[in-house]
Amino acid sequence: MDLDVVMLSRVQFALTVMFHYLFPPLTIGLGVVLAFLLGMRLKTGDARYEAAAKFWTGIFALNFAMGVATGIVMEFQFGTNWSTYSRFVGDVFGSALAAEGIFAFFLESGFLGVLVFGWNRVSPRMHFFAALMVAVGGIFSAVWIVVANSWQQTPAGFHLVGEGDQMRAEITDFWAMVFNPSSVHRLVHVIIGSFILGSFFVLSVSAWYLLRGKHIDFAKRSFSAALVLALLASLAAPISGHFHAQQVAETQPAKLAAMEGHFETGDGPAPLHLFGIPDQEAGVMRYGLAIPAGLSFLVHEDFETPVTGLNEFPRDEWPPVLITFASFHIMVGLGVCFIGLTLLAAFFRLRGTLFEKRWLLWIFVFAILGTYVANMLGWMTAEVGRQPWVVYGLLKTEDGVSKSVKANAVLSSIIMFGLLYTTMLALFLYILNEKIQKGPQPLTAATPEGGGALEAAAEHIDPARRHAADL
Amino acid sequence: MDLNLLWFILLGVLLAGYAILDGFDLGVGILHLVIAKNDHERRIMINSIGPLWDGNEVWLVTFGGALFAAFPEAYATAFSGLYIPFMLLLFALIGRAIAIEFRSKQKQGFWRGYWDFTFWGASTLATLLFGVAVGNAVRGIPIGMDREFSGGLLDLLHPYALLVGGLAVALFAMHGAIYTYLKTEGELQERVHRWVWRTFWLFLAMYIFTTAATLVAVPTATANLHSFPLLWIVPVLNVLAIANVPRALYLKRPLYAFASSCASIAALVLLFGAAIFPNMVASTGPEGTSLTIYNAASSQKTLGIMAICAAIGMPFVVIYTVIVLWIFRGKTAITEHSY
């Protein structure tokens, strides 16, 4: 069988980057939660914040380790599998990556040790500072990696030098490169996505405890606080998404056309397809259900102006329409569900009946999976929609691959990554489940409020809930 | 001094920082199976690096990013040329990370035994591969006119490269042993003490052997010493730093021994830089195919921007590193938060 290095390298990159991206959004989302909890512990001295922070720190550390282990692969892979791309973009993309190392990773990883292992070694003040630095480091890291990726989507602040194989991009204006047309939109959307995932993670674990009748006080407080973040982030997502999509329409019209399954520009208003199966071969939408003029309204804010369709581009510059359309639409659909769920929960919470609604709590236990899928699909829309370009309009993906790497070498590494990552995922879920089932440590001192103290006392009496400090 | 030379030096600083810091935690991994005799001792060893290994590895990540940014041609040629060794290195680094993370999360003997073995194997393999990469950089790899690696796997597993790999294992084992000595007490520390000496003699033997092999097999390695006689100070300092390790041990000043071991590593990285300069990746192929700090570099503008980033960022990095090392100074104890 003649295996193609380009295809194999794409499969490997997709596999490793998607596996990696299981972890960073939770790091970003939970990082903010930890900084909040340790800040409140510093301010109020309430032991419940400390117990909660310890519990989430355990999960954060596990997740972080997975993110680091899978993240280093990404940095190596530009060179190992995409060396022609690396030569072309090194001047620009490499700078953003190096900046991520210098400004974000050192901060994040250095203080992670203090956050996780510093409980008996540093003051609450220093501990809060460490959590804040870890949270800030996570966001800085998102800033630089999104800048680097956005430059691939909407290159700016550069010029091309050299000819043919020797051609490469060089920075002419650093700030124009950093603030390229898509970077701020995409950064905001990525951070919101991470906040949704992080808050739904807390909601899921808390809902589970409420359903099992364990750690009730902890679960109610965590659920209520996370609900605020989840609601705000869910509402913010479509707003940021809307402005981002308008920018895509302007700077990457082929991607927007693929996202919306819009084949023909036509001379009238463009419809907005809610459902449908785009047929790339025939260039038509099948089984489509559309709002007339909806797309024109979203893109141009009027009901007349046509929207650029895929027919304006040569066929070999079309992204895979079905994948782009489906991943974008499922992501939007999930986003609508998050808004509905959080609004409903907030409504019941205000009426004081939320914690009796077991059916809704059950939905929240599993809704976390939807947020993982939505984050993943957002990136799929962005990356698949950019095809066939690796740097939009400048370098095609198939031209970016390493010339000296053989197909069987890539095939072997894919198999190794497949085995390794399957094992890692199984272990991660197993340990994560154990940590969640074990739950937060019971409080050692009675707290002022009745409920908390009773709960703490109950935890204390029940020896099964007490966990020797042997792990 | 031009920006290309500045970035060559800054990459050396990042590499030295990485080798000194991750060197001790890789060394702890290399010695993990032979020093620690029971579960408690194994946990002491892993937790001695527990809060630090992750931050230490960032030096490698930043080295990689800086190489990509400053010398993209060297990054692209070396990483794609050394595809299989670098994939193995990635598997080793991942294996180490998950071994540290998962090992103590379950109590069963086979679980812990499996991860102990992985931690040892992955640490040893990663160190060996770093040495192999350095050996290949010193010796040169076949590069074609198209700037692509033109050899095969066997070119990379040349005996000289493997020898440097062995030197790296011995060096990090010694460095890790001295670090462990600082972090342990009692009977375990006495056992570590014996291993400090053993690894020192092993390192010394490897050092002498590798130096001789370099003089014979890679005559170009000393060219810079002849052109810039002032550079002789580097090997002299290197020998002094190495000689100071047994002296400090004899004087029962382990922290001083550790500092000497750090200095030996820094001097070896300097020596590596002096051996390859001005090449980033020397070529054994046709004339003019070596990737130098000039023909493999990014634009002057980018090197300048990156220099500003480094000037802003690196002082902070040094501050965090010192703070974190200071917070976790002293003997390692097992608590409820330990691995």
Residue with the two structure tokens 């020596």: B271
Is the model's pLDDT at A283 over the cut of 60? Answer: yes
d(C-alpha B144, C-alpha B151), whole Å: 9
* Cα-Cα-Cα-Cα dihedral sign, residues B229, B235, B241, B243: negative
Give how far Cα A81 sits from Cα of B65, B82, B136, B172, B241, Å.
16, 11, 20, 30, 40
Phi-psi category of A160—alpha, beta or left, where left has phi over 0 and alpha has psi -120 to 50? beta
Report pLDDT digits (tens) over B223-274: 888 888 888 888 898 899 998 888 988 888 888 989 999 999 999 999 899 8
A118 vs A57: CA distance, rounded Å: 11
Tell me how far apart the alpha carbons of residues B175 and A60 are, in angstroms, rounded to a whole number: 31
Helices (H), A252-263: 253-260
Low-confidence stretches of chain B (pLDDT beneath 70): none
Could A113 and B81 be called an inter-chain contact, meaning their C-beta atoms sit closer than 8 Å?
no
CA distances from A415 to A11, B87, B115 (A): 11, 12, 21
| Chain A nearest C-alpha distance from B10 (Å) | 12
**How big is chain A by its Cα radius of gyration, in Å?**
24
Which pLDDT does position A449 carry in this prediction? 43
Give yes or no for B22 touching A (CB within 8 A): no
Range 319-358 of A in CB contact (< 8 A) with B = none
Taking only the tens place, the pLDDT of each residue in A76-122 is 999 899 999 998 998 888 888 888 888 888 888 888 888 888 888 88
Of B51, B69, B89, the CB nearest to A116: B51
| C-alpha pair distances (Å), A334 with each of A200, A329, A383, B89 | 13, 9, 19, 39
Q: If DSSP codes are grouped into helix, strand and coil, which group holds residue B160?
A: helix
Pick the residue with more confidence: B70 or A268? Answer: B70
Residue indicated by tokens 């020192």 = B200
Pull the structure tokens for residue A91. Answer: 């001047």
Lookup: tokens for A395: 């370098």
| Mean pLDDT of all residues in A203-221 | 91
What H or E segment, with its residue span, contains residue A130? helix A124-153
Tell me what percent of the residues of chain A surpass a pLDDT of 70: 93
Distance CA B277, CA A230 (A): 54
The dihedrals phi and psi of B290, each to the nearest 5 degrees, come to: -65, 145
Cα–Cα distance measured from residue A92 to residue A96, given in angstroms and rounded to the nearest whole number? 7
- Select from B14, B58, B114, B303 the residue whose CB has the most chain A CBs within 10 Å, as the one to mutate to test that interface: B58
Q: Indicate yes or no: CB of B76 within 8 angstroms of CB of A87.
A: yes
Distances (CA, A) of B2 to B5, B186, B277, B297: 5, 52, 14, 12
Tokens 């992955």: give the residue: B122
Q: What is the CA radius of gyration of chain B?
A: 20
Using the Cβ of B60 and the Cβ atoms of chain A, whether some distance falls under 8 Å is answered with yes
Residue among B98, B309, B320 minimizing CB distance to A69 = B98
- Given a cut of 80, whether residue A450 has pLDDT beyond it is no
Inspect the interface and report whether the beta carbons of A106 and B57 lie closer than 8 Å: no
Report the distance separating Cα B174 and Cα B127, nearest Å: 13
Span B189-201, pLDDT tens digits: 888 999 999 999 9
Residue with tokens 């190596």: A76
Paired tokens of A271: 């419809």
Contact B55 A109 (CB under 8 A): yes
Token pair listed for A303: 């009901």
Does the CB of B336 have a partner CB in chain A at under 8 Å? yes
B143 φ, ψ (degrees, to nearest 5)? -125, 135
B232 touches chain A (CB under 8 A): no
Which tops the pLDDT comparison, A53 or A449?
A53
The verdict on a CB contact (< 8 Å) between B104 and A70 is no
A66 contacts chain B (CB < 8 A)? yes
- Pairwise CB contact (< 8 Å): B80 & A405: yes
Count the Cβ atoms, other than its own, within 10 Å of residue B153: 12
Closest CA to A139 of A176, A193, A87, A98: A193
Evaluate if pTM is beyond 0.90: no
B298: chain A residues, CB-CB within 8 Å? 90-91, 94-95, 170
pLDDT in tens, A58-81: 899 899 988 888 988 998 999 899
Phi and psi at residue B283, in whole multiples of 5°? -105, 140
* Count of Cβ atoms closer than 10 Å to residue A406 Cβ: 16
**Residues composing chain B:** 339
- Do the chains contact at A106 and B80, CB–CB below 8 Å? no
| Minimal Cβ distance to B327: which of A118, A409, A416 | A118
Whether residues B58 and A118 touch (CB distance < 8 A) is answered with no
Helix (H) or strand (E) holding A279: strand A272-279
Asked if B104 and B91 touch (Cβ cutoff 8 Å), the reply is: no
The ipTM of this complex is 0.86
- Model confidence pLDDT, tens digit, residues B301-314: 889 988 998 899 88
Helix (H, G, I), strand (E, B) or coil at A368: helix
Q: What is the DSSP string of A290-357?
A: EETTHHHHHHHSSSS-----GGGS-GGG---HHHHHHHHHHHHHHHHHHHHHHHHHHHHHHHT-GGG-
Residue to substitute from A404, A412, A437, A444, interface B, most B β-carbons within 10 A: A404
